[in-house]
């Protein structure tokens, strides 16, 4: 008996362990179409299941459960705006994307009952649809990126049973904002890393935490505006006051008095922003088996208990999943996933979701849990695996077109065919101008040595190089600064080269696109610049030219060649260190050159090898080698190993992540499903993961820290990816308004002028308060960035800072305690603002600190 792939996944419910029984509730799903794209939401209570009107979409009450059903075309946006179309699945491995989300508050006994009820309703919906889909178990405030993607304006989680008329407090969080109603209204609810909206009958107070990020501040301002306006758009019926963390006393008198009634300012106590640094956690693969007498991992309240056997840790591959089994993948922050093979036993299939939920509880993972059957894997799941072959017929056509394109790759043509530039990963044909420098180590005096002939295309694996490439576009010249690091280059040299690259970038006015490139991982455009002749040799260039001004190839070398086109062509000298395979090799022995091709080599691979030989050469086919070839090869003969024919890769689609900056060196990443250019904002930094390379996009107003930490942001993303990504993946940093087509081509309908009339945060603040806000030297608060040293420090009550040393918070510097006061406490303690205090002589500062007990 095997799993039938329709509704058996969820019939093993969490509380009763039984199958869903027919009931009157089944009738509510009978009108759900089986073969059309659609988006529906139901509200579930103990007594009813109600289909909600569109006007109620995105609003969730914590006392109820909800069921969200989405059916959309592959790779197309989903949500309330989806256009109803008939679905025709032709059996080519590409299916409509069907998802069901069972949402509950998840806390307390009632939350558990509603959660089980939501899953029971989900199984009834699955039976009606009759087609395998992905089932997500969602928890309030921990919703999956896919669920949030349906609601472009975010979701609202409101308290059930709260009487209207009194003040209400909300927190705004995330790029697709989650607006959470909080009870009771008190200082205990606020934290310095958050944005909060206090809704009263006469006044809306927008409270901005000191460490809150700029995107959340903007969303908070928009939400406050919606609350303040009346039924008629543009008509404000209530005023808005903006209170900055620690600056509440600077509010106008009437607003301050009202805030004081609701939140007594004298008793102000603020939770510091959390600074938990999570170490990278690779995903883990578990196999679900029948429970023996003694189970290594026991899932509480499961009937029967599941036994999970850990198979391996990342990197994971599709071949690790067998069709006759059920697996649980622990993706950490990316959720817990249950995968059911097409021929898995029914007993294991029915317990898949329960086993995944049990594992999440056992490991205290608060993220979403989902289950699916083989062949219906969403992108978020596939991204946990290496080299997953993605089924997308339309993208397959584009990838094939990009791979076979040999003409019209110039910058002008690609500017109007950005999709081709994105798939080929080239902004032009590599015909621009090139300057190159070799990074000199400390023994050579440091600094850079410009190369006389940069187009020689010879590199050495113990060296590092800078390449400045300039090409012409329809809108002007574009420059890319590549920093290439050899695989055997020492860390000291890499660090020195990074410093030189940064200095050159600043010298060039911070205009070039920055790219960090590692040996063997070069992006397509870098290879295209050298027209298919790039070769990396063993050693350092000074071994053959002590002056360092030229990079001279060694006279004797065996080079392994890979790639089928110029933008894929790499040559690497083969050493005695290990066994490598290649379809073609170039053997250079003085003036003589041979090109050896394996029987499995394609015609394109042979042409690439001939181009790389770049001289008169002798073509040698496998099995037809002559004596002079073997003689020249000599002791290197064992290194000549043919590789099997490679399958054409079907890469995953790109993924977009919003970057939130925490404490120094800490970053978090929020995925944006079904992204478009509208998901980018000038106030944010974003990661576009193209898998072969990682792009960091910097908005014009994202702040100096994001711009300075761009490479560190990408490195943190790679290190924390549960799929155990290669940390030497190329990193490309681009700035708003200078995006190349190999970036914009991943976004549908990119508009270069989209942000032309963009309103900055300070303009939004001025519009909300109806005036231009300039308060002394504290303008940083009103442009949204708190980059000054005073506001970057954690804040503590005056009584704590005056207390004994042993009770002092660990992050407080005893010599500068005054920096840990809020602005309001500082003014009330010293009778002056911090900027005025800082301008005083050092001896005067010490006297004042002694007089108030802070020295």
Q: What is the pLDDT of residue 273?
A: 64
Q: Is the peptide bond before 61 cis (omega within 30 degrees of 0)?
A: no
Give the C-alpha separation, 678 to 684, whole Å: 12
CA 42 to each of CA 35, 219, 657: distance values in angstroms, whole numbers, following the listed order: 20, 27, 29
The answer to whether residues 578 and 638 touch, using CB atoms and an 8 Å cutoff, is no
Write out pLDDT tens, residues 687-731: 999 999 999 999 999 988 899 999 999 999 999 999 999 999 999
In what order do the strands lie in the sheet containing 38-44? 49-51, 38-44, 65-72, 97-104, 134-139, 369-373, 336-340, 326-330, 284-289, 307-313
- Burial track 306-315 (b if 16+ CB lie within 10 A, e otherwise): bbbeebeebb
Query: Which band of pLDDT confidence, cut at 50, 70 and 90, is reported for residue 576?
Result: low
Nearest to 536 by CA among 514, 524, 515, 551: 551
Most confident of 14-28, 233-247, 554-568: 554-568
Q: What is the pLDDT of residue 160?
A: 87
Query: Which band of pLDDT confidence, cut at 50, 70 and 90, is reported for residue 93?
Result: low
Write out pLDDT tens, residues 356-411: 999 998 988 888 999 999 999 999 999 999 989 887 766 667 677 776 665 567 88
pTM, entire model: 0.89
Write out pLDDT tens, residues 284-332: 999 998 765 444 554 444 455 678 999 999 999 999 999 999 999 999 8
Q: What is the pLDDT of residue 277?
A: 58
What backbone torsions phi and psi does residue 236 show, to the nearest 5 degrees?
-85, 120
What burial class does residue 472 get, using C-beta atoms within 10 Å of its C-beta: 0-12 exposed, 13-18 middle, 19+ buried? Answer: middle
Whether the predicted pLDDT of 678 surpasses 90: yes
Q: What is the pLDDT of residue 404?
A: 67
State whether the Cα torsion 836-837-840-844 is positive or negative: positive
Q: What is the pLDDT of residue 772?
A: 42
CA 343 to each of CA 1, 76, 145: distance values in angstroms, whole numbers, following the listed order: 9, 30, 30
Residue with more model confidence, 89 or 283 = 283
Q: What is the pLDDT of residue 406?
A: 53
Q: Which of 12-16, 141-145, 338-342, 498-502 has the lowest mean pLDDT?
A: 12-16
Tell me the mean pLDDT in the region 816-839: 90
Q: What is the pLDDT of residue 69?
A: 97
Give the C-alpha separation, 464 to 441, whole Å: 9
Residue with more model confidence, 711 or 783 = 711
Write out pLDDT tens, residues 789-809: 788 788 888 888 888 888 888
Domains detected in the chain: 291-389 (3.40.20.10), 555-648 (3.40.20.10), 655-744 (3.40.20.10), 793-851 (1.10.950.10)
Write out pLDDT tens, residues 185-215: 999 899 888 999 999 988 999 999 988 889 9
Give the C-alpha separation, 796 to 623, whole Å: 78
Give the C-alpha separation, 435 to 590, whole Å: 29
Whether the predicted pLDDT of 649 surpasses 90: no
Write out pLDDT tens, residues 736-777: 999 999 999 999 899 999 999 888 888 888 888 765 433 333
Provide the mean pLDDT of the chain: 86
User: Residue 640 contacts by C-beta under 8 Å, 6 or more apart in sequence?
Assistant: 558, 585, 596, 633
The answer to whether residues 288 and 304 touch, using CB atoms and an 8 Å cutoff, is no
| Longest CA span, the chain | 97
Query: Which band of pLDDT confidence, cut at 50, 70 and 90, is reported for residue 15?
Result: very low
């Amino acid at each position: 008996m095997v799993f039938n792939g329709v509704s058996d996944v969820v019939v093993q419910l969490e509380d009763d362990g039984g199958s869903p029984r027919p009931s009157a509730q089944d009738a509510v799903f009978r009108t759900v179409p089986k073969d059309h794209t659609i988006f529906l939401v139901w509200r579930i209570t103990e007594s009813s299941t109600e289909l909600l009107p569109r006007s109620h979409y995105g609003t969730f009450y914590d006392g109820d459960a909800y069921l969200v059903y989405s059916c959309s075309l592959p790779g197309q946006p989903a949500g309330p705006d989806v256009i109803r179309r008939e679905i025709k699945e032709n059996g080519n491995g590409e299916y409509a994307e069907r998802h069901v989300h069972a949402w509950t508050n998840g806390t307390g006994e009632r939350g558990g009952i509603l959660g089980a009820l939501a899953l029971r309703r989900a199984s009834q919906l699955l039976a009606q649809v009759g087609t395998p889909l992905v089932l997500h178990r969602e928890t309030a405030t921990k919703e999956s990126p896919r669920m949030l993607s349906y609601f472009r304006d975010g979701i609202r989680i409101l308290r059930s049973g709260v009487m209207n008329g009194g003040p209400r407090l909300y927190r705004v969080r995330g790029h697709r904002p989650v607006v959470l109603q909080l009870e009771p209204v008190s200082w205990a609810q606020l934290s310095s890393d958050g944005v909060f909206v206090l809704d009263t009958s006469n006044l809306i107070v927008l409270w901005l935490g000191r460490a809150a990020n700029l995107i959340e501040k903007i969303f908070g301002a928009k939400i406050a505006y919606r609350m303040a306006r009346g039924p008629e758009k543009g008509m404000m019926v209530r005023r808005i006051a903006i209170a900055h963390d620690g600056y509440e006393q600077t509010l106008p008198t009437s607003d301050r008095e009202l805030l004081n009634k609701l939140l007594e300012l004298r008793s102000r106590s603020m939770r510091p922003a959390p600074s938990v640094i999570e170490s990278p956690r690779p995903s883990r693969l578990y196999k679900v088996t029948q429970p023996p007498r003694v189970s290594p991992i026991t899932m509480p309240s499961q009937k029967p208990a599941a036994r999970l056997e850990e198979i391996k840790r990342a990197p994971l591959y599709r071949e690790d999943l067998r069709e006759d089994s059920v697996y649980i993948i622990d993706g950490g922050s990316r959720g817990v996933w249950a995968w059911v093979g097409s021929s898995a036993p029914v007993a294991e299939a029915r317990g898949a979701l329960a086993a995944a939920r049990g594992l999440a509880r056992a490991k205290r993972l608060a993220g979403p849990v989902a289950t699916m059957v083989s062949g219906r894997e969403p992108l978020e799941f596939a991204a946990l695996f290496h080299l997953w072959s993605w089924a997308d017929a339309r993208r397959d056509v584009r990838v094939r077109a990009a791979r076979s394109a040999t003409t019209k790759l110039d910058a002008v043509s690609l500017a109007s065919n950005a999709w081709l530039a994105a798939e080929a990963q080239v902004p032009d044909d590599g015909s621009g101008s090139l300057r190159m420098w070799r990074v000199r180590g400390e023994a050579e005096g440091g600094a850079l040595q410009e190369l006389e002939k940069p187009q020689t295309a010879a590199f050495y694996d113990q060296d590092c190089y800078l390449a400045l490439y300039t090409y012409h576009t329809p809108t002007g010249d574009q420059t890319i600064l590549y920093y290439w690091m050899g695989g055997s280059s020492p860390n000291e040299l890499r660090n020195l080269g990074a410093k030189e690259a940064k200095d050159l970038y600043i010298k060039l006015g911070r205009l070039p696109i920055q790219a960090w490139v590692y040996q063997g991982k070069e992006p397509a455009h870098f290879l295209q610049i050298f027209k298919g002749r790039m070769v990396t040799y063993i050693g350092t260039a000074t071994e053959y030219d002590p002056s360092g001004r030229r990079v001279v190839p060694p006279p004797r070398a065996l080079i392994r060649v890979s790639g089928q086109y110029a933008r894929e062509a790499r040559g690497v000298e083969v050493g005695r260190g290990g066994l490598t395979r290649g379809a073609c090799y170039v053997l250079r022995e003085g003036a003589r050159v041979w090109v050896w091709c394996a029987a499995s080599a394609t015609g394109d691979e042979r042409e690439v090898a001939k181009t790389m030989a770049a001289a008169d050469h002798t073509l040698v086919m496998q099995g037809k080698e002559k004596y002079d070839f073997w003689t020249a090869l000599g002791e290197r003969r064992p290194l000549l190993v043919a590789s099997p024919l490679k399958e054409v890769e079907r890469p995953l689609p790109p993924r977009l992540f919003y970057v939130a900056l925490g404490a120094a060196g800490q970053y978090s990443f929020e995925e944006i499903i079904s992204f478009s250019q509208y998901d980018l904002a000038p106030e944010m930094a974003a990661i576009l993961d193209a898998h072969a390379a990682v792009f960091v996009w910097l908005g014009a107003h994202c702040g100096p820290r994001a711009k300075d930490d761009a490479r560190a942001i990408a490195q943190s993303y790679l290190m924390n990816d549960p799929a155990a990504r290669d940390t030497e993946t190329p990193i490309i940093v681009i700035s708003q308004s200078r995006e190349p087509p190999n970036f914009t081509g991943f976004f549908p309908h990119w508009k270069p002028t989209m942000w032309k009339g963009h309103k900055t945060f300070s303009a939004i603040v001025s519009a909300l308060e109806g005036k231009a806000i300039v308060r002394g030297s504290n303008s940083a608060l009103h442009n949204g960035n708190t980059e000054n040293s005073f506001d970057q420090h954690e804040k503590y009550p005056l009584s704590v800072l005056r207390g004994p040393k042993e009770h002092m918070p660990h992050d407080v510097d005893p010599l500068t305690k005054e920096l840990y006061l809020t602005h309001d406490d500082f003014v009330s303690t010293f009778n002056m603002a911090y900027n005025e205090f800082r301008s005083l002589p050092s001896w005067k500062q010490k006297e004042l600190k002694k007089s108030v007990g802070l020295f």
